[in-house]
Structure 1
Amino acid sequence: MSSPGTWTQALASIGALPVRWLAGWWKIVEFGAVVLVLAISPSSYRAGIGPALARHVYLDTVPILGWFTTLCALLTLVITRIVVVTAYSYGLSQYALEMVIRVLVLELIPLTAALFVALRCTIPNGAALGEMRRLGRFEALRRQGLDPVAREVLPRVLAGIFSAITLAALSCVVALVLAYLAVYGTTTAGIAGYTRMFGHVFNPAVALIFVLKTLFFSLAVSVIPMASALFDLEGDGSRESAALQGLVRMFAVLLLIESVSLVGNYY
């Protein structure tokens, strides 16, 4: 039989879970606030992070831009074809393009771009930062009188934000063009109706929600993985456990943002 002390320790461990969970969120929020202050501070850019920022922006955007745009183009053609054929069969052809734009441009592409950047760029960058801290690189920078967050973390976070926004914006433009070509072909006869339908979908409220959602997606996939990778070396558990918790937190935030945007768009 288990001793009373064992049950007491188990209950204490269970009771501490919400505290650790809230503490983890607080660390992420605090980390995000520090990065935001550094990002808007001119002194951060006078400290010589320009070359590092340019390098990370290039590495996190250019190599994946073509692949992601091609993927979105294929997805657009397939979904447009399916939706248009289905709409024609039910006599709802006038709603086909509007449905494609709402599903692809408003919902799928921003979320897919954020996840693509997270898996390809920000999560590996977070792991690299955690390894640098473990090896003492951050302490070496502090001994030199340099801020490791400004020198190593800020360029990676800004590059992730830029990459997510760039991929989402460019892919949305490509999707809009290909959706038009898939329905009307190369003729210009449908431009007036297409423009009118686009303006109907992207009214000021929806456009604002779209911009904010894309921005918050980029912030979530850039800040949360790197914060989790940095804080996993502070005695909270193994690096693997902290990385998994970071992924869960990131997906939870993305789901929350998407849910709020859906409520704003359709209710």
Structure 2
Amino acid sequence: MWLPQPVHALPERLAQLIWGWALAWWRIVYLGAVVLVLVLSPSSYSRVGRHLLARRMYLDTLPILLGFTALAALLSLIITRIVVVTALSYGLSRYALEMVIRVLVLELIPLTAAMFVAMRCAIPSGAQLAQLRRSGRLVVLERTGADPVRMELLPRVVAAGFASVTLAALSCVVALAMAYFSVFGLGTAGLVSFTRMFGHVFSPEVTLVFVLKTVFFSLAIAVIPMTAGMYDLGASERRSELGGLARMFAVLLLIELVSLVGNYY
């Protein structure tokens, strides 16, 4: 039987929720700052550090690179065909290719690449980090004089960010090629008009917003899933992991909204 909570317990519960929310975001900001300092520190690129970074970047990027690129090519062909046929039916064929590039290259592919890397790499890496913490591996590294943040956390964060940027960049190039071939065929007759239209879409302001959005997407999916894995959250660990996923998707949505405002308003 459900019993209502006492009135005097509600402010205490609200304070606990606010404290938990603030602590979670503080951990994310703090961890991101630590990773940024380590990335800029020359001591992180010793022979052992370079080996760990290269190995993790290879393991997180190569297995998903071809699959996601093929998926992006197929998605580009389908969306381009739908938009071009629809635009022709309404007499708007001159705007079809520009619409494809704006919707597909500027908006969909960077967000899709970030979410794909988060699901395939960043979230599993965060779970691995949590398992290492629970098994005492991080404590053992610290006792032997090694830095667990530099040895275990930094390679995972850098690898997830690198994979996100790599997949987004390569898939955007593939999407542009698929869009061109879908409209103009395999010849070079439409190369001049396509290049002119591409330059019109990717103005300096739009290019800057696109680059910043891709970078911030990669930072969000690389840092936020690692926070729950790095900190001991006690009995609420599972709930905090789900909250971390919610925070990650909220940050991705916020970045996308800011980029839309920057591009179109």
In the alignment, what sits opposite 1:41? Answer: 41
CA shift for structure 1 position 9: 2.7
1:101-116 aligned within 5 A: 101-116=101-116
In the alignment, what sits opposite 2:233? Answer: 234
Contact kept in structure 2, 1:217 and 1:257, CA below 8 Å: yes
In the alignment, what sits opposite 1:25? Answer: 25
Aligned equivalents of 1:9, 1:130: Cα separation in 2: 33
Aligned equivalents of 1:5, 1:56: Cα separation in 2: 49
CA shift for structure 1 position 6: 4.0
What percent of counterpart residues are identical?
62
Give the match's secondary structure for 2:35.
helix
Contact kept in structure 2, 1:28 and 1:228, CA below 8 Å: no
Contact kept in structure 1, 2:233 and 2:240, CA below 8 Å: no
Paired letter, 1:246: G
Pair 213,2 (structure 1): closer, same or farther in 2 beyond 3 Å: closer
| Aligned Cα root-mean-square deviation (Å) | 1.7
In the alignment, what sits opposite 1:257? Answer: 255
CA shift for structure 1 position 149: 0.2
Pair 136,83 (structure 1): closer, same or farther in 2 beyond 3 Å: same
**So what's the TM-score if we normalise by structure 1?**
0.96
Moved more, 7-16 or 203-212: 7-16
Task: State yes or no: 1:122 paired with 2:122.
Answer: yes
Aligned equivalents of 2:77, 2:2: Cα separation in 1: 62
Pair 142,90 (structure 1): closer, same or farther in 2 beyond 3 Å: same
Contact kept in structure 1, 2:117 and 2:164, CA below 8 Å: yes
- Which 5+ residue runs of structure 2 have no aligned equivalent? none
* Cα distance per residue 1:177-211 (max 9 Å; x no partner): 01000000012110000000000000000000000
CA shift for structure 1 position 16: 2.2
Aligned equivalents of 1:148, 1:9: Cα separation in 2: 40
Pair 190,246 (structure 1): closer, same or farther in 2 beyond 3 Å: same
Paired letter, 1:259: L
In the alignment, what sits opposite 2:244? Answer: 246
Pair 203,2 (structure 1): closer, same or farther in 2 beyond 3 Å: closer
Aligned equivalents of 1:92, 1:213: Cα separation in 2: 29
CA shift for structure 1 position 11: 3.0
CA shift for structure 1 position 48: 1.7
Contact kept in structure 2, 1:229 and 1:242, CA below 8 Å: no
CA shift for structure 1 position 116: 0.3
CA shift for structure 1 position 2: 10
Aligned equivalents of 2:38, 2:187: Cα separation in 1: 50
Give the match's secondary structure for 1:264.
helix
**So what's the TM-score if we normalise by structure 2?**
0.96
Aligned equivalents of 2:5, 2:118: Cα separation in 1: 43
Task: State yes or no: 1:172 paired with 2:172.
Answer: yes
CA shift for structure 1 position 229: 2.2
CA shift for structure 1 position 17: 1.0
